[in-house]
């Protein structure tokens, strides 16, 4: 009595061994494409390198009366400017580093050579009196000339607690209303001076961290290629099983015709 071949016996036939090699080659190609797409998800999402530590002129990276471009946030810049007397402001609740208690900033109103105004944070003080004394000294001896520092976007005025009589946010839109001299134009950001004014400590202003978002479209494509790789092997298994089932059906039909049907062996 003829017996049905097992799936393992069918799989070892030269035809299906060749098909398995082809399926594995195709799966390997799909897997390589998936790996490439996954690496591309990081490469294409990585921001282009922004050389924030290269000092450039302020007017080459920002324009008065315009928002601060995201590409220049944290850029170190220089500007030739002079300070306006009477426009120094003390801001409270300013942290200088993670280890210090909240202190005070002294912020001045500088006018660049092109006539545009910019707010400049000139230094940090531990106490309010130290900040007030430093502001008074700046009235007598303003640090006019070339100012260098890190350029940052304006903060929201809503961060200040006006009901408690505190002004803590360096909001350019708010400072414009406090300055005695109406500006011809104003930069949308402010400058954290590299060198602290007399009686103040230098404000800690580290280089901004660049985040690398994940490109989800490339991740999706990578998953697709991996699925295709698995499907190539599954297709080979399905074809072998189909052959095993067809041979079993043919054998049972023959045995039924002869009067007996063997039990399938898998």
Task: Output the pLDDT for position 265.
Answer: 54
Residue 63 pLDDT > 70: yes
Percent of the chain with pLDDT over 70: 87
- Global pTM reads 0.62
Residue 182 pLDDT > 80: no
Task: Output the pLDDT for position 260.
Answer: 55
Buried b (16+ CB within 10 A) or exposed e, 51-68: ebeeeeebbeebebeeeb
Task: Locate 169 and state its tokens.
Answer: 């946010």
Quick one: average pLDDT of 173-194? 91
Residue 262 pLDDT > 60: no
Other CB atoms within 10 A of residue 178 CB: 11
């Amino acid at each position: 009595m003829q017996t049905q071949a097992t799936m393992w016996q069918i799989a070892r036939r030269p035809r299906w061994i060749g098909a398995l090699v082809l399926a594995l080659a195709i799966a390997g190609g799909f897997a390589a494409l998936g790996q490439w797409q996954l690496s591309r998800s990081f490469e294409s999402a990585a921001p282009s390198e922004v050389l924030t530590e290269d000092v450039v002129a302020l007017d080459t990276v920002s324009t008065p009366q315009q928002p601060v471009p995201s590409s220049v946030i944290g850029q170190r810049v220089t500007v030739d400017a002079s300070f306006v007397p009477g426009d120094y402001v003390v801001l409270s609740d300013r942290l200088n580093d993670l280890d210090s208690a909240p202190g005070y900033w002294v912020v001045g109103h500088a006018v660049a050579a092109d006539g545009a105004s910019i707010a400049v944070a000139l230094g940090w003080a531990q106490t309010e009196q130290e900040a007030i004394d430093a502001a008074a000294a700046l009235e007598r001896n303003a640090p006019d000339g070339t100012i260098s520092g890190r350029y940052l976007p304006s903060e929201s005025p809503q961060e200040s607690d006006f009901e408690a009589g505190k002004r803590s946010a360096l909001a350019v839109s708010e400072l414009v209303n406090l300055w005695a001299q109406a500006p011809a134009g104003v930069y949308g950001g402010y400058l954290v001076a590299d060198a602290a004014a007399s009686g103040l400590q230098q404000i800690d202003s580290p280089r901004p961290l660049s985040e690398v978002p994940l490109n989800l479209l490339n991740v999706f494509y990578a998953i697709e290629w991996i699925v295709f790789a698995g499907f190539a092997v599954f297709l080979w298994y399905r074809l072998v099983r189909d052959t095993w089932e067809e041979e079993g059906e043919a054998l049972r039909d023959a045995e039924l015709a002869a009067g007996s049907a063997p039990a399938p062996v898998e």
